Amino acid sequence: MASEKTGRRGFLKGAAAGAALAAQAPIAAAQQVRVAAKPAPETTASGEKVEVLTNERPGADFMLEVIKSLGIEYATANPSSSCRGLHESMVNYGGNKNPELLTCCHEESSVAMGHGFAKIEGKPIISMVHGTVGTQHGAMAIYNAYCDRVPHIVILGNETDATARRSYVEWTHSAQDAASIIRDYTKWDDNPASLQHFAESMVRAYKIAMTPPMGPVAIIASGKLQEEPIEESNLRIPKLSMTIPPQGDAGAIAELAKLLVNAENPVIVAGRLARTPNGTKLLVELAETLQAPVNDQRNRMNFPTKHPLYGVGSIANADVILALEVEDIYMMTHRMSPLNRIGMGEPRRLAKENAKLISISCLDLFQRTNYQDFARYNEVDMAIAGDGEATLPSLIEACKKLITPDRRRALQERGAKLAEAHKKMEENNRQLASQGWDSSPLTTARVSAELWAQIKNEDWSLVGNDAFFSRWPTRLWNFDKHYQFIGGSGGEGVGYGAPAAVGAALANKKYGRLTINIQNDGDLNYAPGVLWTAVHHKIPMLNIMHNNRGYHQEVMFVTTMATRANRDPSRGGIGTKLIEPNIDYATMAKGYGMQGIGPITDPKDVAPAIRRALQIVKSGEPVMVDTVTQGR
């Protein structure tokens, strides 16, 4: 037993080293795993042979070793019978460390926590979901991760062997093809029939999830495989060789460089580009080399918001538009309104007809059929298939080679004009932020400015999307580090915000970062139990409620429909507002054990509330500040 433990420690040491390298380089060695034989029958005092009913080496132990070999730090789960074997191995055999099990109150929370974690840490955790019911609960969050191109591993508990199902409950919770419900929006799934099969599929799943375009994967863990003693011999964990992301074709990059260097008004548009901090640095280098403006779609932290080239690109004036990992190029070059969608107007093309449109994206290498997240056909002049971030170094080099001293002077003149435009944009933002400064409900600009005043000297990370906050943090704060912003849900599935923020805060915790989450009220009400998860697992974070007391976008939509029909717009609030009673989020937080402050309605009370909340966060706890806000 002692030698077996020593062997496992050595194994785990190797796994940890491998995990550190996982994002950059292949893990060197496969692992041979020793397993105990199935126990022989025992003999009682009376000499009778009896079957041994204990099992000190269930299959789940080996499954866990496979998971550990991949450097998985956390497992999120709503506890379930179909994952009970793996659950027990995790907390006892694995010591509840790497992965540490996090208790979740809903599978949607489990998966979305992984989504948020991966966007900060750059690698997946696992979620254990329970058969048919847990998979259906988690499906929405899986879809969000898929649309957002974020890696995540779903371990799907299922009793595959019908003869092993012990009750009607297990029949209703089992499926013949358990991953079928999520197959349209996962990159890959498998249903291993043996432990060796599980090992190979888990390693393959990790590799597929982490290959751009990244995405969620699912592995079915049969209950029988988890719980029965290990009978297979010579089990081994295969070597993980990470796929090197593909770069765009060299000839195409050379042609693109010529276009960009000679363009008078190039615009760079960044979608889900910066997978890593290096992606942000590279985009800055490209933009500065060309003195070209960058329009960041804020799906990732692609470009520093205070950079003079940030946000000042004019699609309408552009002669060359470079779209880097942009999902919906049509919407980048056209303008539509909600009314247009119901046939009351033509989409308006923003880009010039003769503007050259070039895309670099790994999405051209992977598309599915049923779910329509791929948007309209990308009508571009050159579609370069390859990972945007991986392609940037060669593009930068090609551009630099082409820039003559004369051209450099011209580019610098353009850069100076863009810097001036950026300055004006900033001034305009401040002017707009001052409007309604003392209003109640609070303006989202006021709350953002109050927050910034108190966090700007901290090592902060905004983990909530600010799209529904009129992007005031983006407009007022200085975002210049990759972990300071993680974009939105991807699939626009409401309910992502709170759990993804907790997952991101979990990833930030080990770095000691101050996590800020601007939390939409409608979103929190999908599965608020994640507040308890944050408290229980001591995940510090400052939650600021964007409590506009409604599903505000729908308020606007229904009002629009009413006016279009020449009917009463005042009824747009029916079915869309969260009033009568107002929800008291500070009290809700307290119910889950989280300190709650508010509701705050007077602008003068915002700063003291944030000050108090920051003290709580710095003591290692999460906190909720309920600010009653304007719609956007």
Partner 1 sequence: MKKFFLCIAATLLFSSVAAFGQNAQGNAENGHKIFLKNGCYSCHGYDGHGGVGAKLAPKPIAAVAFIAYVRHPAPGGMPTYSAKVMSDAELQDVWAYLRSIPEPPAVKDIPLLNQ
SS3 of 239-299: CCCCCCCCCCCHHHHHHHHHHHHHCCCEEEEECCCCCCHHHHHHHHHHHHHHCCCEEECCC
**Residue among 193, 350, 380, 432 that touches partner 1 (CB under 8 A):** 432
Q: Is residue 441 part of the contact set for partner 1 (CB under 8 A)?
A: yes
Q: Which stretch binds partner 1 (CB under 8 A): 29-37, 265-273, 339-347, 415-423?
A: 339-347
Q: Is residue 601 part of the contact set for partner 1 (CB under 8 A)?
A: no
**Number of other CB atoms surrounding residue 31 within 10 Å:** 21
Strand 49-50, strand 514-520: pairing: unpaired
- φ, ψ of residue 269 to 5 degrees: the values are -115, 125
Q: Which stretch binds partner 1 (CB under 8 A): 19-27, 256-264, 438-446, 536-544?
A: 438-446
Q: How far apart are CA 348 and CA 331, in angstroms?
A: 10
Q: Is residue 560 part of the contact set for partner 1 (CB under 8 A)?
A: yes
- Tokens encoding 177: 């093809």
**Residue among 26, 39, 529, 569 that touches partner 1 (CB under 8 A):** 569
Name the DSSP letter for residue 347.
Answer: P
Interface positions, 509-528, toward partner 1 (CB under 8 A): none
Q: Is residue 96 part of the contact set for partner 1 (CB under 8 A)?
A: no
**Residue among 36, 336, 365, 410 that touches partner 1 (CB under 8 A):** 336
Torsion, CA 67, CA 73, CA 78, CA 81, rounded to 10: 30
**Residue among 436, 480, 582, 590 that touches partner 1 (CB under 8 A):** 436
Q: Is residue 337 part of the contact set for partner 1 (CB under 8 A)?
A: yes
Give the nearest distance from C-beta 317 to partner 1 in angstroms.
19
Give the nearest distance from C-beta 294 to partner 1 in angstroms.
24
The number of angstroms, rounded, from the C-alpha of 272 to the middle of its chain's C-alpha atoms is 11
Interface positions, 442-481, toward partner 1 (CB under 8 A): 443-444, 449-450, 452-453, 456, 470, 476
Q: Is residue 314 part of the contact set for partner 1 (CB under 8 A)?
A: no
Place of tokens 């260097």: 261
- φ, ψ of residue 559 to 5 degrees: the values are -60, -45
- Tokens encoding 394: 């060669």
Give the nearest distance from C-beta 468 to partner 1 in angstroms.
10
Q: How far apart are CA 177 and CA 169, in angstroms?
A: 17
**Residue among 103, 559, 582, 601 that touches partner 1 (CB under 8 A):** 559
Give the nearest distance from C-beta 440 to partner 1 in angstroms.
8
**Judging by beta carbons within 10 Å of its beta carbon (0-12, 13-18, 19+), is residue 509 exposed, middle or buried?**
middle
In what order do the strands lie in the sheet containing 356-361?
A: 294-296, 266-270, 320-324, 356-361, 382-385
CA quadruple 296, 301, 303, 305: dihedral sign? positive
Q: Residues binding partner 1: what is the number (CB under 8 A)?
A: 45
Q: Is residue 341 part of the contact set for partner 1 (CB under 8 A)?
A: no
Q: What x/- string results for residues 573 through 592 when contact with partner 1 is judged by CB under 8 A?
A: x-------------------
Q: Is residue 632 part of the contact set for partner 1 (CB under 8 A)?
A: yes
Q: Which stretch binds partner 1 (CB under 8 A): 396-404, 512-520, 551-559, 583-591?
A: 551-559
Residues that bind partner 1 (CB under 8 A): 335-337, 339-340, 345, 348, 430-439, 441, 443-444, 449-450, 452-453, 456, 470, 476, 552, 555-556, 559-560, 562-564, 566-570, 572-573, 630-632
